Amino acid sequence: MENSFEAKGLRSHYIANLSLDDVGERVAICGWVARVREHGEHLVFVDVRDRTGLVQVVAHSSVDLRSEYVVQVNGLVSRRPVGTENPALATGEIELVETEIEILSPADPIPFSVQDRSEVDEATRLRFRYLDLRRDRMQENLRMRAKINSAIRASMERQGFTEIETPLLWTPTPEGAREFVVPSRLHPGLTYVLPQSPQIAKQLLMVAGFDRYYQIARCLRDEDLRADRQFEFTQLDLEASFVTQRDIMSFISDAVIAASAAAGISVDHEIGEITWRDSMDKYGVDKPDLRYGNELIDVTQVFSETSVRALSAPCLKALVAPYPSHLSRSKLDDLVDRAKGLGAKGLLWLRVVSDTDGVRLDSPVSKFLTDQESKDLIAATGVSEGDVILIVGDEWAKACQVLGQLRIDLAKSEADPRAYKFVWVVDFPLFEGVDEDGRLISAHHPFTMPNEEDFPKLDTDPLSVRSQSYDLVLNGWELGSGSIRIHRRDIQSKIFSLLGIGSEEANNRFGFLLEAFKYGAPPHGGFAFGIDRLAALLVGEENIREVIAFPKTQSGSDLMTGAPKEVENKVWDLLGLSVRPQKKDLS
RNA sequence: GGACCUGUGGUGCAGCUUGGAGUGCACGUCGGCCUGUCAAGCCGAAGGUCGCGGGUUCAAAUCCCGUCAGGUCCGCCA
């Protein structure tokens, strides 16, 4: 615990600063009553806690102290009597005696114990968040997050980045995430929106010549919440000019390595890379968890001549199940259901068993497989007795996705929680598909620069065009993404036309950016990664709520404040708005 | 919009499968005893619309339907 700063005001010392060196000195400490142990009116032990630690206070008269009372204690630092030291406590060799205890603020019995380590119902924690935050877990998490922030800032400063704030009241740019709308009072009927990210603002800063910009920025998206998604979240947002993708990746690597070090975690200084295509092929996801292996294996060729319907597919992917001993027949049936739930037509399992004739495959389709197919499958997957092979046949992407999810389902609980495997995923496709009107859909955003080698394919085979975009992944979580941006108007026009965005629409939505690009736009690119996610992973939490002081529930409520709440009609009147009755009010 | 899990004194859990008196455990709270504890100990007490509504039944915490809240996930998150 850091406590090198000076104690001021009502206290002479922070608790963690008290030690045997202070024996004989009268001190004043302030904090909360953690526990009271009363041995009759002549001997009472009071544990007092502050932000730095906990110390035992001894009183020789009855005290009216209860848990979580706020107190100031004046007392003499004293070595504990021999045999009563508590090695479990940092201050366990000393105690405060000859004490005067002043109650600064009494406390009602609290809804759940601040001292207890037991899990408390999520709703209760959130309703009394200020008490939850008093607990060690949240104190440690938020202090660690602050250190991570600090390390990131230091890294950015070291690399010559300038911190610049951008507006929270921004302009609607309808695309991508749903935006939070902020009605204008001075212009009834018109709105601002809260930014999904400072994307366009930071590109304008490049046009402005700031060259290297960063910000620890709040981003807001009105989309459904998840364990790793809140309405509002914080990103390290950066943008730089006259640089390549490699340069951006190096800036970010420096920042996340520094952040990890601040959290006491050392990681490889060379963060590995994988192409998007390879990641999908091997792991079935674009955010691979490299803490465990079990890569997917392409077995399309093995069954090219098959008569088995389930194996007649454009692509066959196989997964050798990790921990196959966990897979009973009913578990295998569950996996088949899971695969179907993920959109597969089915899932084929084959157990590798041995009998007098050697190794063979036991499966619902065994008798339909030729000896050659069995032999080739065993060779292709490298399995031996006891293994279980799972096969999905479908289009390439679907087969990969389904087995990729099964790989996670089967191995995740066995992953080393102390391992931290960063990886860059590069060469994403520029377009992720085609919408119902036949227009291409941006995989990242419409300002992403195509890979220059693939320019010729923009007209002939746009879906195969790679982009100069890159994601940073840690233990299967997407931390963030970035790209080199388009700064040339001819390329931008080309992309807009492929996306089916007419010049009028483009001007309407991004006119101010396109206009800015007329006046000397440097080549530039950037990145943003989620600090909530990084902090959660680095402190070993599985939900970003654990590193956010005042988060929302999955349904977007704040159980402490009651938000969102109704407002009086005069508030709507002022904004020139009115509220329609909800469906359920009409029935 | 959808799937699944959870909801039982202030807190954490058991009870639900197979209906039979609000039954149990731990913590906390309140009172008493206690001069070296540190998750103090001992004795005693209080504290419950079993989330809410409806249904089935002689009888519902338990079975059924609906609903609300929390969580995990799918959709969604350029």
Nearest nucleotide to A123 (CA to C1') is B70
- Å from the A546 CA to the B69 C1': 20
Residue nearest to nucleotide B1 (CA to C1'): A224
pLDDT over 50 (residue A425): yes
Residue range A269-296: average pLDDT?
A: 92
A469 touches strand B (CB under 7 A): no
Contacting residues for A571 by C-beta, under 8 A, at least 6 apart: none
- Give helix then strand counts, H and E, for chain A: 15, 22
pLDDT, position A549: 97
Tell me if A15-105 shares its fold with A292-414: no
Residue range A438-451: average pLDDT?
A: 89
Nearest nucleotide to A126 (CA to C1') is B70
pLDDT, position A558: 96
- Å from the A175 CA to the B78 C1': 6
Q: How far apart, in whole angstroms, are the C-alpha atoms of residue A290 and residue A373?
A: 30
Query: Measured between alpha carbons, how far is residue A295 from residues A46, A176, A275, A319 in Å?
Result: 56, 32, 15, 7
pLDDT, position A8: 93
pLDDT, position A331: 79
- For the segment A491-512, what is each residue's pLDDT rounded down to a tens digit? 999 999 998 888 888 888 889 9
Contacting residues for A173 by C-beta, under 8 A, at least 6 apart: A179, A193, A200, A509, A510
* Chain A span 533-562 residues with beta carbon within 7 Å of strand B: 543, 545, 553-555, 557, 559
Q: How far apart, in whole angstroms, are the C-alpha atoms of residue A535 and residue A518?
A: 40
pLDDT, position A582: 66
A227 touches strand B (CB under 7 A): yes
Nearest residue to A66 via CA among A94, A38, A88: A38
Nearest residue to A547 via CA among A559, A561, A558, A533: A533
pLDDT over 90 (residue A414): no
Query: How are strands ordered across the β-sheet holding A272-275?
Result: A162-163, A212-220, A232-241, A524-530, A477-484, A469-474, A422-426, A272-275
CB atoms within 10 A of CB A374: 18
Q: How far apart, in whole angstroms, are the C-alpha atoms of residue A448 and residue A426?
A: 13
pLDDT, position A469: 95
Residue range A160-180: average pLDDT?
A: 92
- For the segment A110-140, what is each residue's pLDDT rounded down to a tens digit? 999 998 878 899 999 999 999 999 999 999 9
- Å from the A405 CA to the B18 C1': 38
pLDDT over 80 (residue A3): no
Nearest residue to A96 via CA among A44, A135, A32, A34: A44
- Å from the A335 CA to the B73 C1': 16
- For the segment A294-344, what is each residue's pLDDT rounded down to a tens digit? 899 999 999 988 888 888 889 999 999 888 877 777 778 878 878 887 888
Contacting residues for A233 by C-beta, under 8 A, at least 6 apart: A218, A219, A221, A530, A531, A532, A544
- Å from the A60 CA to the B63 C1': 60
pLDDT over 80 (residue A2): no
Choice between A365 and A214, residue whose per-residue pLDDT is larger? A214
* Per-residue confidence band for A518, with pLDDT thresholds at 50, 70 and 90: very high
- Å from the A584 CA to the B65 C1': 19
Angle between the N-to-C axes of helices A396-411 and A329-341, in degrees from 0 to 180, rounded to the nearest 10? 130
Which residue has 């005042």 as its token pair? A550
Nearest residue to A52 via CA among A23, A67, A31: A31
Task: Give the bases of strand B that a protein CB approaches within 7 Å.
Answer: 1, 10-13, 27-30, 33-41, 69-78
Nearest nucleotide to A43 (CA to C1') is B35
pLDDT, position A111: 93
Residue range A274-287: average pLDDT?
A: 94
* Chain A span 100-129 residues with beta carbon within 7 Å of strand B: 109, 111-113, 116, 118-124, 126
Q: How far apart, in whole angstroms, are the C-alpha atoms of residue A387 and residue A441?
A: 41
A133 touches strand B (CB under 7 A): no
* Per-residue confidence band for A586, with pLDDT thresholds at 50, 70 and 90: very low
pLDDT, position A152: 98
Q: How far apart, in whole angstroms, are the C-alpha atoms of residue A531 and residue A524?
A: 23
* Chain A span 396-435 residues with beta carbon within 7 Å of strand B: 432
Do the Cβ atoms of A213 and A198 come closer than 8 Å? no
Residue range A240-245: average pLDDT?
A: 97
pLDDT, position A418: 87
Choose which CATH entry (3.30.1360.30, 2.40.340.10, 3.10.580.10, 3.10.20.30) describes domain A292-414.
Answer: 3.30.1360.30
pLDDT, position A91: 96
pLDDT over 70 (residue A532): yes
Query: Measured between alpha carbons, how far is residue A41 from residues A173, A256, A413, A449 in Å?
Result: 70, 55, 52, 77
Complex confidence, ipTM: 0.94
Chain centroid, CA A250 distance in Å: 21
Amino acid identity, residue A301? Answer: Q
* Chain A span 8-67 residues with beta carbon within 7 Å of strand B: 35, 37-43, 45, 47, 56, 58, 60, 66-67
Choose which CATH entry (2.60.40.10, 2.40.50.140, 3.30.70.1070, 1.10.287.1120) describes domain A15-105.
Answer: 2.40.50.140
What the block records as the tokens of A189 is 């009927």
Give the DSSP letter of residue A281: H
pLDDT, position A324: 80
A443 touches strand B (CB under 7 A): yes
Domain boundary assignment for chain A: 15-105, 292-414
* Chain A span 65-94 residues with beta carbon within 7 Å of strand B: 66-67, 80-81, 83-86, 88-89, 92
- Å from the A168 CA to the B20 C1': 63
Nearest nucleotide to A122 (CA to C1') is B70
Q: How far apart, in whole angstroms, are the C-alpha atoms of residue A390 and residue A319?
A: 5
pLDDT, position A293: 87
Lowest mean pLDDT among A95-109, A344-358, A510-524: A344-358
- Å from the A135 CA to the B14 C1': 27
Lowest mean pLDDT among A181-195, A385-399, A511-525: A385-399
Q: How far apart, in whole angstroms, are the C-alpha atoms of residue A562 and residue A378?
A: 59
* Per-residue confidence band for A587, with pLDDT thresholds at 50, 70 and 90: very low
A287 touches strand B (CB under 7 A): no
* Chain A span 516-535 residues with beta carbon within 7 Å of strand B: none
* Per-residue confidence band for A346, with pLDDT thresholds at 50, 70 and 90: confident
pLDDT over 60 (residue A398): yes
Query: Does the bond joining A417 to the residue before it have cis omega, within 30 degrees of 0?
Result: no
Nearest residue to A465 via CA among A487, A443, A447, A445: A443
